[in-house]
Amino acid sequence: MEKEVILKVEGLKKYFTIDKSSKLFKPSKAILKAVDDVTFDVYKGETLGLVGESGCGKTTLGRTIIRIYHPTEGKIIFEGQDIAFLKPKELKKYRKDMHMIFQDPYASLDPRMTVREIIEEAMVNDTSLAKDDRERRVLELLEMVGLNSDHASRFPHEFSGGQRQRVGIARSLAANPKFIVCDEPISALDVSIQAQVVNLLKDLQRKLGLTYLFIAHDLSMVQYISDRVGVMYLGKMVELADTKELYANPLHPYTQALMSAIPIPDPDHEREKRRIVIEGEVPSPIDPPKGCAFCTRCPKATKRCFEEVPPYKEIVKGRFIACHLYER
Ligand SMILES: Nc1ncnc2c1ncn2[C@@H]1O[C@H](COP(=O)(O)OP(=O)(O)O)[C@@H](O)[C@H]1O
Ligand code: SF4
Ligand SMILES: [Mg+2]
């Protein structure tokens, strides 16, 4: 059966204008290409993982897709409608369908509001709910995320990190969304409770039929939760494939280097594994390399890699890659 596409991202770009003025030099501006021509589909009900080193554009991509940021160029087709350049009034209809769970639940929850107020505020779009129904819905949401009615009148500082993230999840579910960008939702939590929160997200997905874009730098966690995984480097998607295939057989030199750094619990295995060390720093997105974004660090780079941007292509069904090595 053909899988249903809920979101189509086409040629999406998000550039920031950076002020480079200083006292010594005259005013000057630079363009920072945080997301640069990214294309992919997300299927209804799946978890698409997104990995890549810090600064490669994962958060910006997530925020642009749900229109926290205004895109520079491209299409964001959600359930058949291109929402990339909709005006705020037209966008309102879609706001409740798409939400975000943030990395730092403490920073993202207003400390002066009770949990009840925080969750109710997220229902504001839903004017059809009467006061009683709202209260009932708050309690239902708290229960759904493993908290209870006693928690409703408390403030964020009264909770542990894990509980706060549960409040953040309840808030993101308040408007009954279909699609959620989970931006490193467990990175700020103790290792001991990371798995609980990930399992909660999995349960909720099953029960509510949610679709996730799951951003993380922990490759093992992404492997555990994702159906497919996309790898980003310097604002570009460089590889995207089914989770099993990507982890068993990474093809892009950058994915290979990332994967080779995952610790394997079996010590015998660990010795056999060849670590690929990526030399050097990620180049600046203000002044990216001319050809392939990875050319300055790639062990397999040829002259062509420094001159031509490799196209992002489907090389076998469901496997996408941007690298000259795989062009026919
Ligand atoms: N609001 C912003 N204004 C200017 N530059 C930004 C802004 N947000 C992110 N960036 C820059 O965009 C690039 C991508 O950042 P980000 O999306 O946060 O990456 P990641 O989430 O993968 O760590 C970085 O170089 C970052 O400094
Ligand atoms: S296109 Fe060239 S530089 Fe880029 S990843 Fe492939 S081999 Fe490396
Ligand atoms: Mg980020």
* Closest ligand to the CA of 294: 2
pLDDT of residue 1: 67
Cβ of residue 258 lying under 6 Å from some atom of ligand 2? no
pLDDT of residue 106: 77
Number of folded domains in the chain?
1
CA 311, distance to chain mean position in Å, is: 22
Q: Is residue 37 part of a domain?
A: yes
Q: Which letter does DSSP use for residue 220 in this model?
A: H
pLDDT (tens digit, 9 = 90+) per residue, 264-284? 555 555 555 566 667 778 899
Within 8 A by CB and 6+ apart from 107, the residues are: none
pLDDT of residue 264: 57
pLDDT of residue 262: 66
Q: Is residue 121 part of a domain?
A: no
Q: Which residue has the tokens 């974004």?
A: 293
Amino acid at residue number 275: R
Q: Select from 102, 99, 27 the least CA-distant residue to 65.
A: 99
pLDDT of residue 263: 61
Q: Whose CA is nearest to atom 16 of ligand 1?
A: 57
Q: Whose CA is nearest to atom 26 of ligand 1?
A: 55
Q: Is residue 282 part of a domain?
A: no
Give Rg (Cα) of the chain.
21
pLDDT of residue 32: 97
Q: Tell me how far the alpha carbon of residue 290 lies from the centroid of ligand 2, in angstroms.
A: 12
Q: Is residue 162 part of a domain?
A: no
pLDDT of residue 282: 86
- Per the structure, the complete domain to which residue 32 belongs is given by 5-97+177-263
pLDDT of residue 274: 60
Q: Is residue 243 part of a domain?
A: yes
Q: Is residue 132 part of a domain?
A: no
- The CATH number given to whatever domain includes residue 239 is 3.40.50.300
pLDDT of residue 279: 75
pLDDT of residue 268: 59
Tell me if residue 190 falls in helix, strand or coil: coil
Q: Is residue 296 part of a domain?
A: no
The atom of ligand 2 lying closest to the CA of 295 is 3
pTM above 0.85, yes or no: yes
Q: Is residue 311 part of a domain?
A: no
Regions of the chain with pLDDT less than 70: 1, 22-25, 124-127, 262-277, 328
